Amino acid sequence: MNRVVKVAGVTAGVAAGVAGAAYAAQRALGRSLRHRADPDAGRLGPLVFDEARRLPSHDGGSIYTVVRGDGPPIVLAHGVTISSRVWVKQFGSLPRAGVQVVAFDHRGHGESTVGESGHSVANLGHDLASVLEGLDLTDAVLVGHSMGGMAVQELAIRDPELLRKRVRGIVLLSTAARTRLTASRAVRTVAEQLSGRFTLGSVMSHQDLGVMFARIGFGRDPLASHVELAREMLATCDAETSREAVNTLFGLDLVAELDQIALPTLVVGGTHDVITPPAESRLIAERVPGARLVMYERAGHMLMLERAEELDALILDFAREVGALGADHAASA
């Protein structure tokens, strides 16, 4: 135990030193972002939707869902400590291609509330099932980003019959089937020490420091508006959720069960993703029977923003391949 605490203390000290040095450079980073041409500046406001509903979770919580458009459903599941607002570009583009886009906030995130059993990977799958059943969705394509991709994997492994009834294919976007490093006791201890001093919201609410950390989620050529959107979502994440939802992912390992996924699967990642590195995408694609892998050069973790047009077209093409969309639908968004 002493060794773990000692390692944690050293690691925390190093982290503080690195953060201090990085902070000295963050103003230059902010200036470089602001001087880059940004076609999305002022265009990434709240989601525009046709309908919003609160669905009951299996354990007494609520799941906030939003829907836009008509046609076969594409269900979008976001990552940890952000919200469904991350899909703002898809809500603007995909309905024009003749599909219905459905997004929901994970428990404790955005407008959703946590049920009695709290946060767990199993509950991620349960809540996704509640969305599919509560909205009575069929012939759907599931797109899971980061933690949302873990929810899709969990449900595909635990309840394949439900997915066979309601889903045509799954897209695993910037995600992983395992979290090896965070399983260590030392890293857990560091996380606990830091969470006792700071909250994600307090860090992200500081404009300059928040931009520096939000920038980590992007590849080589981010736009300032994209980084700012990520910062805003992270800043407003509930403190308990930012702690407990992340802790839930410590030690995740679905790798041995990936061969049980029996749906058409598209795995998508960025070559410069440091949050869920390319090796994790390749591993999923190797283990899921028949999965196809697409990697975007120079892109990071936030592909729905960084590569929106290319990703939208890829999702629609995949939806046609698996029979969720007919050939008469628009070739791209």
How many helices and strands in the chain, by DSSP H and E? 13, 8
**String of b and e for 82-104 (b: at least 16 CB within 10 Å)?**
bbbbbbbbbbbbbbebbbbbbbb
Contact at 8 Å (CB) between 117 and 59?
yes
Sheet holding 167-173, edge to edge: 51-56, 62-68, 100-104, 73-77, 140-145, 167-173, 265-270, 292-296
Confirm whether 64 is domain-assigned: yes
CATH number at residue 301: 3.40.50.1820
| CA neighbor of 52 nearest in space, from 118, 123, 131 | 131
| CA neighbor of 144 nearest in space, from 133, 131, 135, 134 | 131
Confirm whether 240 is domain-assigned: yes
Confirm whether 19 is domain-assigned: no
Confirm whether 16 is domain-assigned: no
Confirm whether 13 is domain-assigned: no
How many domains does the chain divide into? 1
Confirm whether 176 is domain-assigned: yes
Confirm whether 141 is domain-assigned: yes
Confirm whether 332 is domain-assigned: no
Give the C-alpha separation, 22 to 35, whole Å.
Answer: 20
| pTM for the predicted model, two decimal places | 0.87
Return left, alpha or beta for 267; rule: phi > 0 is left, psi -120 to 50 is alpha, else beta: beta
- Would you give per-residue pLDDT tens digits along the chain (333 residues)? 444 333 333 333 334 433 443 444 455 555 567 678 999 999 999 999 999 999 999 999 999 999 999 999 999 999 999 999 999 999 999 999 999 999 999 999 999 999 999 999 999 999 999 999 999 999 999 999 999 999 999 999 999 999 999 999 999 999 999 997 544 454 455 445 445 556 778 888 888 888 999 999 999 999 999 999 999 999 999 999 999 999 999 889 999 999 999 999 999 999 999 999 999 999 999 999 999 999 999 999 999 999 999 999 999 999 999 999 876 555 444
Q: Which domain holds residue 178?
A: 24-321
SS3 sequence, 211-272? HHHHHHHCCCCCCHHHHHHHHHHHHCCCHHHHHHHHHHCCCCECHHHHHHCCCCEEEEEECC
Q: How far apart are the first and last CA of the chain?
A: 55
- Pairing between β-strand 265-270 and β-strand 167-173 as defined by DSSP bridges: parallel
Contact at 8 Å (CB) between 130 and 55?
yes
